[in-house]
Amino acid sequence: MDVTRSILYGFVIWTAVLARAEQPARPAAPPVLDARTEPAAYAIYSAVLQEAWKDQRVPILLQQETETVVMGCDGFLPRLTGEWVDVATDFQRQNARARMLQPALSVTVPYHLIPGAEIEADDARLAKAYPGGWQRRPGSMEYWAVSAIGFNRERTKAVLYVRSRMAGGIHRWELKAGKWTEARLEACGWIA
């Protein structure tokens, strides 16, 4: 009887181990982009999004994870010259992985951070309801996404990617007299 119980117990343990091994590993949550240690990044996010949202009156959805894929601007970063080369290099390094944003923007428009998985789930639901090719399906969730920011060594120049569902682009920013302002230089953008 003890041998049978031992074999049965071993079988149960082995089955549990195999079942756990077959489950796909959950991806680790991206690291947090801490507003306390990265105040310049949050100042730039606030400035660019305040301008983009200036005519909005309803709460805006901002993707919680930073965007790591830059669409529609192929070849723009490699063409940057002078002091902007270091910024472009840091931008690519910073965007090798996503970061989690904190609700730390200084904007006048109310906003909510929304997980990218929630956006993808809503898009999948709408794709079933509206099969075929669509630029934007009826009822699509309107949201914005930002990349991590690339800086020069002095942290006086910056590059970031910002997009909505239907438009996006790379923006260059400069710190002048203690305030981040958009550089009046060539930029890159797209509209769907």
Quick: pLDDT tens for 143-164.
999 999 999 999 999 999 999 9
Alpha-carbon torsion, ordered 39, 42, 43, 44, to 10 deg: 130
Closest alpha carbon to 87 in 1, 168, 171? 171
pLDDT > 90 fraction of the chain, expressed in percent and rounded: 59
Is a pLDDT exceeding 90 seen at residue 136?
Answer: no
The average confidence (pLDDT) of the chain is: 86
Reading the block at residue 68, the tokens are: 């790591």
pLDDT band at 77 (very low <50, low <70, confident <90, very high): very high
The answer to whether 70 touches 131, Cβ cutoff 8 Å, is no
The answer to whether 77 touches 159, Cβ cutoff 8 Å, is yes
Q: Compute the distance between CA of residue 42 and CA of residue 9 in angstroms, rounded to an integer.
A: 55
Q: How many Cα atoms sit within 13 Å of 138 on the Cβ side?
A: 5
pLDDT for res 63: 97
pLDDT for res 65: 97
